[in-house]
Amino acid sequence: MNRILTNLMGYHPIVPLLIVGTVFSSLTTSISLVFLPIYLMNSAHLEPVTIGMIVGAGALTATIGGFLGGTLSDFLGRNRLMLFSLLILGAVFSGFLLTSNSMLLCLLNILRGLFSSFFVTISKALIADLTKKEKRTRVFSYRYIAGNIGYAVGPIIGTYFGIAGNKTAFLFTSLIYAGYFLIMGFLLQYKNATSMTEAEVVEKVTISQSWKVFLRDKVLLLFICGSILLTAVHGEMSVTLSQYLNKTNPHHGLKLFGYLMSINGITVIATQVFITRWSERFRLFSRIVLGSLLFSIGEIGFAFSQESCGFILSMVLFTLGEILIIPSEYAQLDEITPRGMRGMYYGAQGFSDFGNFIGPWLGGIVLVSYGGRTMFLTFALVSLFSIGFYAWGRKLYSRQSQQVTQFKL
Which tens digits make up the pLDDT trace of 325-357?
A: 987 887 787 777 776 666 667 667 777 878 888
Rounded Cα distance, 238 and 260, in Å: 10
Answer whether residue 217 is part of any domain.
yes
Rounded Cα distance, 86 and 38, in Å: 26
pLDDT tens for residues 84-113?
999 999 999 888 878 777 788 889 889 998
Answer whether residue 2 is part of any domain.
no
**194 C-beta neighbours (distance < 10 Å), count:** 10
The 8-class DSSP code of residue 93 comes to H
Answer whether residue 3 is part of any domain.
no
Average pLDDT over all residues of the chain: 80
State which H helix or E strand residue 243 sits in.
helix 218-248
Q: Which is higher by pLDDT, 316 or 60? A: 316
Split into its structural domains, the chain has a count of 1
Shortest CA distance to 347 belongs to which of 108, 6, 76? Answer: 76
Indicate whether this model's pTM tops 0.75.
no
> What range defines the domain where residue 41 resides?
9-408
pLDDT tens for residues 185-242?
888 776 555 544 444 444 455 556 666 766 778 888 999 999 999 999 998 887 788 8
Rounded Cα distance, 38 and 151, in Å: 17
State which H helix or E strand residue 292 sits in.
helix 284-304
pLDDT at 139 over 90: no
Q: Which is higher by pLDDT, 312 or 133? A: 312
Establish how many alpha carbons lie within 13 A of residue 368's alpha carbon, considering only the half-sphere containing its beta carbon.
12
Answer whether residue 267 is part of any domain.
yes
Answer whether residue 304 is part of any domain.
yes
| Alpha-carbon distances of 390 from 225, 288, 322, 403, rounded to whole Å | 8, 8, 16, 20
Amino acid at 161: F
Which domain CATH number covers 119? 1.20.1250.20
Q: What is the CA radius of gyration of the chain?
A: 20
Answer whether residue 1 is part of any domain.
no
